[in-house]
A and B are shown apart, each in its own frame.
Chain A
Amino acid sequence: MANTPMLAEMMKTHGISRRAFMKYCASLTSLMALSPALAPRVAEALENAPRPSVIWLSFQECTGCTEAITRSHAPTIEDLIFNAVSLDYHHTLQAASGHAAEEAREHAMKQHYGKYILIVDGSIPIKDPGYSCIAGISNLDMLKETAAGAAAIVSVGTCAAYGGVGHADPNPTGAVAVSEIIKDKPIINVPGCPPIPVVMTGVLAHFLSFGIPELDELGRPKAFYGNSIHDRCYRRPFYDKGQFAEGFDDEGAREGWCLYKLGCKGPTTKSACATVKWNNGVSFPIEAGHPCLGCTEPDFWDNGGFYKPLSVPAGDYRDAGLAAVAGGAALGAASALLAKAGKTKAAQAHETVDAHDLEKSS
């Protein structure tokens, strides 16, 4: 079952026309910043690719990534693409539980050793592995064991990609990203809290058609994470004109002006949110009137406050300022008084001389 081409039949059963499928492949091709000429190749690859086995491991996570990918309006073609893989283990979605579930994972691993795709969401606690276990196996052990036979790893969501909320200061569980533990396998990071569903499916489609996509220095596919949200934001003209919302219910907010002053992290956040958007291209956070939190960037939880503008210092700088006023006043007064004392002393020590004295001394 796992190695038979499935997409063509699945399209038929879901009533998706060939035309609609080709349209999807074309949009996927442009989304991935590939040449339009490659669209038929994407279609061919997707149609003929053997259904790869996928093992999805969920560690310290909130299930938001799974929620996002499963709620990408069924039946979309993205959904189908996701169906085109054989999801052999996903403890939230699978029917089996307990030992049967773990058996499914072990079975898939054995059968497709070296060929399966490992998808991970959630961070891994390394301070005490007991903080998060599945069926009595620590996340750390399960990741190492499962990664050993994987062809590639896709870290879905910011937790798996960069540690996410678990890694946020003070990081009580010692949460780390997949890439901190696994060093010998190709890892594709698909960060976001959660990532855009079509980006998750797009990365899988790319992997099936052309292998590992081109990644940036943070392991993200450049096709989806190449531009900042700010550069592609439909509210950018308001930033350029200097028109800003200063509150969530002021005139600027109602007019749909730029959200920079409300703490928008769009200028420092790379993601396809502003172009691909969410819920089938309906909207994205900024369009809904909320500033970008910067969720596709490492440590975005610790960026000094979601509602603090980027230009505002992140720390408690007022304390430093007040201490400087007090310290400066004390030091300045002390230094001036010292100089004054020196001046008085010099005046006292001053000896007057006249021409006779000078003549004597010469």
Chain B
Amino acid sequence: MNSPAFDLLMWARGPAFDIALTIFIGGIIIRVLEIVILGRKKDMAAPKGNPVAQGFKTIFSRSIPREGLVKFAPITYLGGYIFHLGFFVAFLFFAPHIALFTDAFGIKWPDAGRVIIESATALAVIALLALIYSRMTDPVRKALTTFDDYLVLILSGLPLITGYVAVNKLFGDGQMMIAIHILSVEALMIAFPFTKLMHAVTFVMSRYYNGTIQGRKGAES
């Protein structure tokens, strides 16, 4: 006798993970290499400032909002911050996730308890819903939003929601919910290289590049 939930869980932990990992890693490398090898046209003019220093500075400085912008677009800024922090706390400090890194790379770090993980998850989901709401209601954002934006928002939210349901056994079969949670992460991994999720890797390059442009002009970035 077979259990469909168990079979799905084993498929998610086995072949599906291998497929997702291959596309995830292979896709990221393809896209990064394309960007780096294609390069930019060399600027022959002597720089007025220090492009490299401005480039590195910008990688970090762009994580801090400019004055007044939080007030101008609170949902975008606060929602963005809360979502990213919540997502990474739940992703990187939940013990079962750390066990995966320990198995893969032999490294480990302290994990957070259930209260922290679940609060982070809940906050991230609320932030995500606020971001979706603002995209749907604000006329400017609505006009700028494409299918890709909604897809990415949903794909990033599903692992949080399914993980919360699986851990708390809110509904459904326990095995099935863990399987669905793992599959939702795999969907995120597969979509990663081909959507704007790639910003998690390319933000370093693009911020550096923008910083060097300002540095070359002798401006502060």
Contact = CB atoms under 8 A, between A and B. Distances in A.
A299 B7 CA distance: 9
B37 A261 contact: no
Given A163-B1, A299-B6, A324-B25, A242 B104 contact: no
Contacts of A329: 29, 33
A242 B95 contact: yes
Contact of A242 (B15, B21, B112): B112
A308 B103 CA distance: 9
A183 to B, nearest CB: 12
A354 to B, nearest CB: 23
Task: Tell me if A's interface is mostly helix, strand, loop or mixed.
Answer: helix
Interface stretch (A53-61, A111-119, A273-281, A333-341): A333-341
Interface in A287-303: 297-299, 302-303
B142 interface: no
B30 to A, nearest CB: 4
A331 B27 CA distance: 9
Contact of B104 (A260, A299, A318): A318
Given A261-B95, A267-B178, A324-B21, A177 B29 contact: no
A231 B1 contact: no
A323 interface: yes
A312 B13 CA distance: 7
Nearest to B36: A336
Contacts of A303: 6, 10
B38 interface: yes
A318 to B, nearest CB: 7
B87 to A, nearest CB: 17
B14 to A, nearest CB: 4
B99 A312 contact: yes
A325 B24 CA distance: 10
Contacts of B38: 336, 339-340, 343
B146 interface: no
Interface residues of A, number: 58
A228 B172 CA distance: 13
B13 A315 contact: yes
A324 B24 contact: yes
A180 interface: yes
B1 A180 contact: yes
Contacts of A308: 103
Taking each of A177, A313, A335, A336, which has the highest tally of chain B beta carbons within 10 Å of its own beta carbon? Answer: A313
A328 interface: yes
Nearest to A294: B6
Contacts of A231: 169
B174 A315 contact: no
Given A268-B174, A312-B100, A241 B114 contact: yes
Contacts of A180: 1
B3 interface: yes
Nearest to A270: B174
Nearest to B175: A268
Interface of B: 1-3, 6-7, 9-10, 13-15, 17-19, 21-34, 36-38, 95-97, 99-100, 102-104, 108, 111-114, 169, 174-175, 178
17 contacts: A162-B2, A260-B95, A261-B95, A267-B174, A267-B178, A297-B3, A297-B175, A304-B10, A310-B96, A311-B97, A314-B13, A321-B22, A323-B22, A329-B33, A333-B33, A335-B34, A340-B37
Given A299-B3, A328-B26, A340-B37, 18 more contacts: A180-B1, A218-B3, A239-B95, A240-B114, A242-B111, A244-B95, A267-B174, A268-B6, A298-B2, A299-B10, A303-B6, A310-B96, A313-B21, A314-B14, A314-B17, A316-B18, A328-B29, A336-B37
9 A-B pairs closest in CB distance? A332-B33, A328-B29, A336-B37, A311-B96, A328-B26, A332-B30, A324-B25, A324-B26, A320-B18
